[in-house]
Structure 1
């Protein structure tokens, strides 16, 4: 079955088509970023080897692109609600819609580029994790409800037996719903006492302060902090600027050459605030697909790339 047929026939999830306002995937990489993009890849690998050695692009296979390939165009999502406040069906639908709309801003750069096999992206909520079933009003559309499962820190979670992050070997025998109920990542709303619009994320999930949802996300406009955190699920790091702009690729303070003054993955003093993926970041997503798809063997050809930068001497200070 072709990717388009699969996306048309699948049910229970939203299909998000390619936006028409993007730089065409038939275009070549713009001249100003031809040398920047290989350096972005090298910096991602170098930083991960030092900062998170167990979760590099090479060693960890549950980044957003791994997930969409595993799901044949679908990302399965666990919604985690760490609050005692009741959630109406309407608000839950708004949460999922905001997540889908925001994620689309990253994924919409991929259709038509370098044999990317899907024409859109789908999302399926496979579970809700809450402290008590009574917190969920109305229909949950067939999603599993978890009230007794917790993560390693004792926080509400979907069944870890269904987590792809925990079962990269593909063994879902411990998942009540089997492989079809597996979850690729989670979206965790944390009822923190902090009144800030902040979050954190990696391949297996995104943490967002409940205050941010209630004061920014629920307005259903742009939500820059969620856009930023979802960028981390692809493996993009924070790009931090100390004003010197003279750091090597082998540094946590490196910025891509010819980067705009502001972009999504460059948080400011008060968190992320850029509402849309910049053109440079769109090309970063495309280039990541080109590299990762060959690293994983999703496509095979004679494409060659520059040798990786030797970062035996790494500047790890932020």
Structure 2
């Protein structure tokens, strides 16, 4: 299936319609067996990446959103622009196990560090308006509040469930459900909204990702906090990057978005992300957003 084929995600979010990001083969165990600091300000990929990058762009331009790539408006870049360069996560704890306060702190710290492995590589690039992307966990969804050991001060606890009975963060507070940024029905208002979910499922192998968030195994994520390579791949889908199960671009075989071929984000992954940004940046008022990011606008 293609990255942005429109589907109904009844199993994920009730009857909500979403853009499908990623391939179901991400869910298979057998495809999964350094942070880069190479910031750029202009479109100047290494010569050996020029042709494969063009091949990727040509491919997604014809396959995303039924050939209307720019008609879809909830890519990760859209989410970050709407939130003025911050990311609020809500964790869906899809498990019967309890989770300690220390583990919850570690999960938030992991998200902070691993989001930056992607977004730091946009800093200063072709009008990207944010110097950094602050990350917070603002909520947890659980079957029973008693599963959350220790203090839950400062965190919203959700006990709502989706149509399959799986713990779900309150849709009234979710960006996926309110792309008009109207959080008036959210108990905590806009300040307590979440931009995406981290869905941690007991026993899950593989992953899934899209504009709604990322889903991986709870045991896996807690065991790979420093560098959760499956989650890094799934967050790449949130940033609109495709899967490569059925083809690979000329001369490129090992990169995080080619599931199972790399456990780290590579130069090619970063240049694909930059390529996507440069093609959609014109739809944002980047100058105004950049001023807000440095405190010149209310």
TM-score normalised according to structure 1 size = 0.73
In structure 2, what is the Cα distance between the partners aligned to 1:223 and 1:124?
A: 18
Helix, strand or coil at the partner of 2:216: strand
Q: Return the match for 2:250 from 257, 267, 285.
A: 257
Larger helix proportion, structure 1 or 2?
A: 2
Structure 1's 237 and 27: CA in aligned 2 closer, same or farther, altered over 3 A?
Answer: closer
Per-residue deviation at 1:199? 0.9
Aligned to 1:179: 190
Question: Does residue 279 of structure 1 match 2:267?
Answer: yes
Structure 2 residue aligned with 1:297: 284
Unaligned stretches of 5+ in structure 2? 1-34, 288-298
Match of 1:109, SS state, is helix
Q: Per the alignment, do residues 45 and 184 of structure 1 end up closer, same or farther by CA in structure 2, a change over 3 Å counting?
A: farther
Aligned equivalents of 1:178, 1:41: Cα separation in 2: 38
Count of matched residue pairs: 253
Q: In structure 2, what is the Cα distance between the partners aligned to 1:190 and 1:234?
A: 22
Please tell me whether residue 64 in structure 1 is matched to residue 76 in structure 2.
yes
Counterpart in 2 of 1:132? 144
Matches within 5 A, 1:21-100: 21-25=37-41, 28-50=44-66, 57-100=69-112
Q: Is the 8 A contact 2:87 2:195 kept in 1?
A: yes
Residues 75 and 239 in structure 2, CA contact (< 8 A), matched pair in contact too: yes
The equivalent residue for 1:211 is 219
SS, match of residue 291 in structure 1: helix
CA contact (8 A) 2:99 2:147 kept: yes
The alignment partner of 2:209 has SS state of strand
Within the candidate set 151, 159, 166, 2:170 is matched to 159
1:307 matched residue in structure 2? none
How far residue 204 of structure 1 moved from its aligned partner, in angstroms, is 1.0
Match of 2:15 in 1: none
Change (3 A) 1:73 1:131: same
Q: Report the counterpart of residue 291 of structure 2 in structure 1.
A: none
Alpha-carbon spacing, 1:266–1:30, altered in 2? closer, same or farther (3 Å):
same
Any gaps of 5 or more consecutive residues in structure 1?
A: 1-18, 241-252, 301-318
Kept in 2: contact 1:225–1:273 (CA 8 A): no
Aligned twin of 2:241: 236
Of the candidates 227, 230, 237, which is equivalent to residue 232 of structure 2? 227
* Native 8 Å contact 1:62 1:184 kept in 2: no
What's the secondary structure of 1:236's corresponding residue?
coil
CA–CA distance in structure 2, aligned partners of residues 27 and 278 of structure 1: 17
Post-superposition shift, 1:170?
2.3
Alpha-carbon separation, structure 2, partners of 1:168 and 1:21: 32
Instruction: State the secondary structure of the residue aligned to 2:219.
Output: helix
Structure 1 20/60 Cα, relative in aligned 2: closer, same or farther at 3 Å?
closer
